[in-house]
């Protein structure tokens, strides 16, 4: 069984191996959204989302930085995934 995201949604799987932020001092504004690394598992078709044309820019297998507290955790067949909107993905790591 697999997850097929709708619209501009992306299914990602968090990478847990290394801590992403090691900075000792956490500033108020920045601590609100803690970035995290993840791998893209499935990508929605894009198209018109909320009345706006969205082109998907990430693809399955991409390693990405996403806003940690965005998205929705989903467990399927014992695996944990996160479903985010593409706009919650900040950058691709190459």
**Contacting positions for a second copy (CB under 8 A):** 1-7, 9, 11, 20-23, 27-30, 33, 35, 42, 47-55, 57-58, 65, 67-76, 80, 82-83, 86-87, 89-94
Q: Which is nearer to a second copy, 33 or 39 (CB)?
A: 33
Spell out a b/e string for 70-84, using b for 16 or more CB atoms within 10 Å of the CB, else e.
ebeeeeeeeeebbbb
Q: How far is CA 55 from CA 11, 32, 63, in A?
A: 16, 27, 18
Q: How far is the CB of 69 from a second copy (least distance, A)?
A: 3
- Min CB(62)–a second copy separation in Å: 10
């Amino acid at each position: 069984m697999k997850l097929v995201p709708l619209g501009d949604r992306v299914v990602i799987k968090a990478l847990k191996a290394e801590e992403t932020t090691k900075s000792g001092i956490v500033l108020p504004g920045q601590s609100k959204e803690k970035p995290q690394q993840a791998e893209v598992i499935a990508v929605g078709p894009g198209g018109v989302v909320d009345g706006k044309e969205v082109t998907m820019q990430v693809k399955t297998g991409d390693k990405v930085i996403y806003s940690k507290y965005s998205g929705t955790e989903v467990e399927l067949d014992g695996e944990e995934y996160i479903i985010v909107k593409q706009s919650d993905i900040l950058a691709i790591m190459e």
